[in-house]
Structure 1
Amino acid sequence: MNNRYNTLRNSTPKYSTTTVMDGAARQVLRNTYLLLSLCLGFSAITAGVTAALNLPGPGILITIAGYFGLLFLVTKYKDQGLGVALVFALTGFMGYTLGPVISVYLKMPNGTLTVMMALGGTAAIFLGMSAYALVTKRDLSFMRGILTVGVLVAFVAALAGIFLQIPALSLTVSAVFVLLMSGMILYETNNIVRGGETNYVMATVSLFVSIFNLFTSLLHLLGFVNKE
C-alpha cells in the first residue's frame, strides 16, 4: 500500500513557480517591446504636434473608419515588411486623434496634473500587469473570451454614451475600460510568453491599443474628478 501511495505521489505533475520562455517566445517578446516603444514615441510626437498646432479632431466616424481600416491592413500584411509600416500608420493616426483630446484637458483647471496623472497611472498599470504576466505560472488563456465580450459590450456602450450624451454612462464605461484594458495587457503578455502569440506585429498592435484605451479612460475619469 505504501509503495502504491508513493508511486501515485511521485507521478503527480509538478508545476514550476515561474514561466520559462523558450527562445522563440523570448524573441517575439523582445521584438514586440522594441516596436511598441517606437510606436508609443511616434504616437506621442504626433499627439504633441496635433495639440500644439491646435488641429481639430477628425470626428467619431472618421476615427472609427480610419482605425478599423488601418487595423484590417495591418492584419492582412502582418507577415510582411509592409505590416510594420502600417503599424506606424495606425499608431500615428491614433496619436493624431488623441492630440485634440489632450489639448482640451490641458485647458481645464488642473489640466496638466490630470494628464500627468493619467500617464503615470497608465505606466504603473502596464508595468504591473506585464511583470505579473512574465512571472506567473498560470495559463491566462481563459481570459480571452471574457475580455472579448467585455470589450464589445463596452464599445457599444461607449458609442451610446457619445451619441446620447449621458455623462454617467460615459464615466461607467471609462471605469470598465480601465479594468478591461488592464486585463488585455495581462492576457496578451502572458500569451506571448507561453507561445500563443507568435507575430510581434499583432502583439504590438494589441498592447498599443490597450495602452491607448487605458490612458484615455484614466484621462476621462481623472478629468472628471479634478474638475469637481
Structure 2
Amino acid sequence: MQQQYASTHTQVEQREVSRVLRNTYGLLALTLGFSALVAYMAMQADAAYPNIFVVLIGFYGLFFLTAKLRNSVWGLVSTFALTGFMGYTLGPILNMYLGLSSGGELIASALSMTALVFFGLSAFVLITRKDMSFLSGFITAGFFVLLGAMVASFFFQISGLQLAISAGFVLFSSVCILYQTSAIIHGGERNYIMATIGLYVSLYNLFISLLQLMGIMGGDD
C-alpha cells in the first residue's frame, strides 16, 4: 500500500513538472517573440533609450506586479507588458550596435551564443536531473558583487571594469538558467509565469552581456 502511494505520488509529481515545463517554455517562446517584435518597432521608430530611472521603475514595477498577479490571468497580461517593455529598451541598443562597422555580425553572434548557452544548459539539467539548489548562495553573492561593480563604474573610470562586469553577467545569467531550470523539475517552482519571467530576464541579460563583451573585445565599443 505504501509503495503504491509512493508510486502514485511520483507520477503526480512528474505530471506536474511536465505541465510547468510545457507552460513555461510555451510562454517563454511567446514572450520572446513579442519582445523581438517590440524591439523591431522601437528600432524602426529610432526610439531613444529611456532614462535609467524609467528603466528601473518600469522593470521592477512590472516585475513585482507580475509576481502579485501570478496566479490570475492578469499575470499573463503583466508578463507581456514586462517583456514588451524590455523589448522596447532593447531596440535602441541594437540600433547603436548596427551603427558600428561590424554591428550586424556582433548581434548575430551574440544571439547565436545566447541560444547555444540556453539550450545547452537547459538540456544538461533536464537530462541529468541534477539538483542545482546549491547555487542559490552563489547567485545571491553574485548579485551584490555585480551591483557593487555597476555602482563603481558610475563613479570611477577603471580600466577593464566594464569588460569584467559583462563577463560577470554572462556567468551570472548562465548560473541562473541552471538554477531556474532545476527549480522547475525539482519542485522549487510551480508557477509557470514566474518561471518564465526568471528565464526571460536571464536570457535578456545574457544576450546584452555577450553583445557588450564582443563589442569591447572587438574594439568597437
TM-score of the two chains, using structure 1 as the length reference: 0.87
Residue 158 of structure 1: CA displacement? 2.0
Bigger-Rg structure (1/2): 1
SS in 1 for 2:70: coil
> Quick one: which amino acid aligns to residue 145 of structure 2?
V
Q: Distance in 1 between matches of 2:214 and 2:35?
A: 22
Residue 60 in 1 paired to residue 62 in 2? no
Distance change >3 Å, CA 138–CA 77, structure 1 → 2: same
Residue 197 of structure 1: CA displacement? 0.5
Range that drifts further, 205-214 or 57-66? 57-66
Deviations 1:98-148 (A, max 9, x none): 110110000011000000000001000000000001012421101012112
Q: Which residue of 1 aligns with 2:10?
A: none
Q: Which residue of 2 aligns with 1:174?
A: 166
Range that drifts further, 213-222 or 50-59? 50-59
Equivalent residue in structure 2 for 1:133, among 119, 125, 132: 125
**Percentage of identical aligned residues:** 45
Q: Distance in 2 between matches of 1:217 and 1:162?
A: 17
Matches within 5 A, 1:155-170: 155-166=147-158, 168-170=160-162
Residue 227 of structure 1: CA displacement? 2.8
Q: Which residue of 1 aligns with 2:136?
A: 144
Residue 73 in 1 paired to residue 68 in 2? no
Runs of 4+ in structure 1 deviating by more than 6 angstroms, as ranges, are none
Equivalent residue in structure 2 for 1:205, among 178, 197, 210: 197
Deviations 1:75-108 (A, max 9, x none): 1111111001100000000011111011000001
Residue 30 in 1 paired to residue 14 in 2? no
Any stretches of 5+ residues in structure 1 without a counterpart? 1-20
Q: Cα RMSD over matched residues? A: 1.4
Q: Which residue of 2 aligns with 1:193?
A: 185
Range that drifts further, 147-156 or 187-196? 147-156
Deviations 1:132-191 (A, max 9, x none): 010124211010121122023213322432454546211101101101101111111111
Deviations 1:3-47 (A, max 9, x none): xxxxxxxxxxxxxxxxxx700011000000000000000111111
Is the 8 Å Cα contact of residues 136 and 179 (structure 2) preserved in structure 1? yes
Residue 215 in 1 paired to residue 207 in 2? yes
Q: Distance in 2 between matches of 1:38 and 1:124?
A: 19
Is the 8 Å Cα contact of residues 139 and 175 (structure 2) preserved in structure 1? yes
Is the 8 Å Cα contact of residues 129 and 185 (structure 2) preserved in structure 1? no
Is the 8 Å Cα contact of residues 67 and 94 (structure 1) preserved in structure 2? yes
Q: Which residue of 1 aligns with 2:43?
A: 51
TM-score of the two chains, using structure 2 as the length reference: 0.90
> Quick one: which amino acid aligns to residue 142 of structure 1?
F
Q: Which residue of 1 aligns with 2:102?
A: 110
SS in 2 for 1:22: helix
Any stretches of 5+ residues in structure 2 without a counterpart? 1-12
> Quick one: which amino acid aligns to residue 180 of structure 2?
E
